Every structure is written in structure tokens, then in C-alpha cells.
Amino acid sequence: NTGSWDITQPLTPPSYILLTMALAMKLGLAPLHFWLPEVIQGSTMTTAFIITTWQKIAPMSLIFLTMNNLSTSIFLLMGLLSSLVGGWGGLNQTQTRKIMAYSSIAHLGWMATISSIMTNILIMNLLIYLIMTTSVFLSLIISKSKTIQDTTSTWTLSPTLTIIMLLSLLSLGGLPPLTGFIPKWLIMEE
């Protein structure tokens, strides 16, 4: 329509809607999140780790580049919905991969909410999320924990690993004195 392949140039409304929906589906934002928990549950722990970390970098970069042209209200709505779905969906789970999938949905909701307001907080939130998710997945891979029940036996394997996993999970949940609380606090301030 515009004769250009440059993604940052002004496009037509249908192309922005299509771009927004494609990025939301790739990230696993609600209401296009239904594939994420089942795919992560059905994959190996290493593949789940890659899906929840490395796969998020390219779509978040595109959101960062095109945020001035995308609809703020759609991203706010998807962010709020993702935070609610991710929080409620992870409550009744015993499988660690599904918990991490719903955690990914919830964290991306927070990032989608702030993306249209302050992109520097978006980048900080993404980096903190990637670091925390990496530490949790590496702990789960080392301890071979596939369920919450499996994590209770890691104390005999390595008390240090158990403490690191506990603190990483609490930080990923956003407990106030830990690192995961800082991005949520800054987003709420904005």
C-alpha cells in the first residue's frame, strides 16, 4: 500500500491491527495466549526455556520500534487482560512448565501495559524478566523438577540450589523486597 518495506513508516489501520495481532500471538499475550501453556507443557524444559526467553526478544524489539504507530488502547487492554489471565491461570497449577507459561503471560501483560507509556521501563522490565526466568529455568533443569512436588526433594540434592530457586521464584512473583518487584512498582508509578 505504501510502496515501502520499512516497518516504522506510517501504515494503514488494517496493517497496524494485523501487526499488533501477530506480535501479540507471537508473545502469547491474552486473548491470543491459548497456545503458550500447552506448547510449553508439551516441550522439554530446555525448549520451554527458549520459548519463554529468547522467543520474546524479536517481538518486543518490533513493539519498541513501532510503538508510536500502534494503538495504545489495544496494548493497555491486552496488557491488563494478560496480567489477569496469567495471574489467575497460574494459581491452580502443579506443573512447573505451566506455571512458567502463565508467569510469562502475566509478565508480558505488564510489559504491554508500559510499552506505550515509557519504553525505557519496558526494556528494563524485559531484561529483569529474562534474567529471573533464566535463573528459574536453569534451577529447574539442574534439579530435574517437572512438578512442584519434585522441587520439595531438591534440598537433599543441593540446599544452595533450593534457596536460589526459592528466591528466584519469589522474585519472579514480584515479592516486594526482591528484584522482580521493582519493574512492577515503576509501572504502577507511571
pLDDT at 3: 66
This prediction's pTM: 0.88
Report which of 44, 37, 45, 38 is spatially closest to residue 139, judged by C-alpha positions: 45
pLDDT at 71: 80
Report which of 24, 53, 37 is spatially closest to residue 129, judged by C-alpha positions: 53
How high is the mean pLDDT of the chain? 87
Give the Cβ contact number of residue 184 at 10 Å: 17
pLDDT at 8: 66
Grid coordinates standing for 64? 519498541
Q: Using 50, 70 and 90 to split pLDDT, how confident is the model at 2?
A: low
pLDDT at 111: 92
Distance CA 40, CA 32 (A): 15
